[in-house]
A and B are shown apart, each in its own frame.
Chain A
């Protein structure tokens, strides 16, 4: 799990957590209150896409985002945040529990659960895939290659 750290000099802090991830944000929110930095705190059972989209799109320059929760939750909220214009320099994430990796099939673009095996069979098109370290933040997954033997 990555530690979240308090960033000074931001116009506003946003905390987006699922029930598991809320606790690690509380400490930072308490500090924000103490230092009179405006903040908003939302605990969501799951990534409510319409809500976060609306929430993020209302933000102005200088807003800083913390996302905390299960791997899936963090990944989905992060994608929405980046769509709304947050860069990776404007957010921190903390994953609670196991980090599940995903492999994107190079043939059909399907997403597969991946536990670092050398090879898997794509669940969508049946293609044999080799894992790699090539990672897409946009897709939240690693690239699975086809190899010719």
Chain B
């Protein structure tokens, strides 16, 4: 949850325009950082680790042939953390003997880089427990990308257990309209052409009733009920604007793709404090086609949120 007072640090997802459609909205990632540490780090890390302990079958998956690519992810993220957050992380290397220190959690982990038996967890599972992001590994073969490993604690209503092993198009088949005009094929081609050293980023958004980060499909029966409780009166507190900051990196040795997802949330009552966001989002939500609203899980309470936003707009006039 983003509880920061600095509203404008929230990764607002919209560019120009008062409408939203599915598109390939990726842009070159600058600075080229795979993950980001925010002020909710400790709380989210604790939650992640609890979920991984209690529900490993839904939070982690890996196929055995991904281990080399997993080590590349450790290499990428451990170096990034130590270089960009030197007061929080350290990486000491003597040849392949690495020592990774997380100063916030007071942990020091020593291992032989590339040697699976020297870590108590798989490499992806290990490094993922030091970042707020969900980490998805897509292996490239036969002209396609496959979800062959992932650590996923904060999914936006999908199941890693179910989607594991699927190709890019198979994973996205349930999205209405995504296959139209071959959008899925074009995005797949784009992803397969990503080059090492030139990462990309995109933002995805949704609304959610409630403030849970762990909106897994497995627990939907519980948290989905909140959608029925939304009214014009409580929307500001209950409904949250949810943004996924997604980043795509080519791993040069394995030729795999690392897909990191950092989920940010902001209650609508804070979101609307910034007038340009309020105005634009009101227009977008009003115009949003029903098939997108349905897929994003907004349809049940879109009317209540629109009423709330209109009342806020009046206050800002």
Contact = CB atoms under 8 A, between A and B. Distances in A.
A146 B174 contact: no
A143 B162 contact: yes
A104 B162 contact: yes
Interface string A70-110: 00000000000010000101000000000000001011110
A146 B224 contact: yes
A124 interface: no
Interface string A133-148: 1111111000101101
A127 B221 contact: yes
B57 interface: yes
A106 B159 contact: yes
B236 interface: no
A54 interface: no
B300 interface: yes
A82 B166 CA distance: 12
B314 interface: no
Given A134-B173, A136-B162, A137-B165, A106 B142 contact: no
A132 B162 contact: no
B92 interface: no
Given A106-B217, A109-B57, A148 B300 contact: yes
Contacts of B219: 107
Contact of B220 (A106, A133, A134): A106
Q: How large is the interface on B (under 10, 10 to 19, 20 to 34, 35 or more residues)?
A: 20 to 34
B221 to A, nearest CB: 5
Contacts, number: 54
A138 B165 contact: yes
A136 B162 CA distance: 7
A134 B164 contact: no
Interface in B201-228: 217-221, 224-225, 227-228
B57 A148 contact: no
B20 interface: no
A107 B218 contact: yes
B161 interface: yes
Interface in B221-250: 221, 224-225, 227-228
Interface residues of A, number: 21
B163 interface: yes
Contact of A132 (B166, B174, B224): B174
Contacts of A127: 221
Contacts of A146: 220-221, 224
Nearest to B226: A148
Contacts of A133: 173-174
Interface in A104-122: 104, 106-109
A89 B142 contact: yes
Contacts of A108: 218
A145 B174 CA distance: 12
Contacts of A139: 162
Contacts of A148: 220, 224-225, 227-228, 300
Interface string B41-71: 0000000000000000110000000000000
Which residue of A89, A106, A139 has the most chain B CB atoms within 10 A of its CB atom?
Answer: A106
B162 A106 contact: yes
Contacts of A106: 159, 162, 217-218, 220
Interface string B145-178: 0000000000000010111111000100110000
Given A139-B162, A146-B221, A148-B227, 14 more contacts: A87-B141, A89-B142, A106-B162, A107-B219, A107-B221, A109-B58, A133-B174, A134-B162, A134-B173, A136-B165, A136-B166, A137-B166, A143-B159, A148-B224
30 contacts: A82-B165, A87-B141, A87-B142, A89-B142, A104-B162, A106-B162, A106-B218, A107-B220, A108-B218, A109-B57, A109-B58, A109-B218, A127-B221, A132-B174, A133-B173, A134-B162, A135-B170, A136-B163, A136-B166, A137-B165, A137-B166, A137-B170, A138-B164, A138-B165, A138-B166, A143-B174, A146-B224, A148-B220, A148-B225, A148-B227
